[in-house]
Amino acid sequence: MREQKIYDRVRSLGHEPIEGTAIIVTRTPESILQGVVEFAMQTDRFELMACAEDAVLLFKLNNLTNDIRTSASYRCISREDILSAETELADAGMTRRIRITTDEGDVLLNAQHESTSGLRTSGLWGSWHAANLPRACDEICRMGSDAKEAM
């Protein structure tokens, strides 16, 4: 998937993308059992996250075509709905965990660490994931910091 296609899609939805922030993520399972089931099924478990000036957008990916699903469904977390956001290393440094807190609860995401992403599944989508991960994490944390300062 070409990175520019992602930003074109974000623009078509009425958002101004922050270029260099598109990354591949998976939802953090709520339990060990759910994690095992998701791993075993391997069905559409990857999502694409892109930061925009006014929101964070999450698109489901089609595992067969390695592209954004053709349906119009996506999740948009408005910047003003973000109460806090943080990132941390997880899984012995193999993953960056992203936590976005809203009034509706936490959105927990995992993103493969840039140093290992080429060796793992997200390498299928291109080298842009590794290049974009630090900036995407910085933008997410900035959105969380902006929310704390506004309080």
Q: Tens-of-pLDDT digits for all 151 residues of the chain?
A: 788 999 999 999 999 999 999 999 988 766 566 556 655 555 557 889 999 999 999 998 876 556 676 556 789 999 999 999 999 988 766 788 999 999 999 999 999 887 766 655 545 666 888 899 999 999 999 998 876 676 6
Q: How high is the pLDDT of residue 122?
A: 46
Number of domains in the chain: 1
- Give the CATH number, domain containing residue 146: 2.30.29.30
- Domain residue limits at 112: 3-150
How open is the CA angle 113-43-36, to the nearest 5 degrees? 70
How open is the CA angle 79-84-85, to the nearest 5 degrees? 90
Q: How high is the pLDDT of residue 7?
A: 95
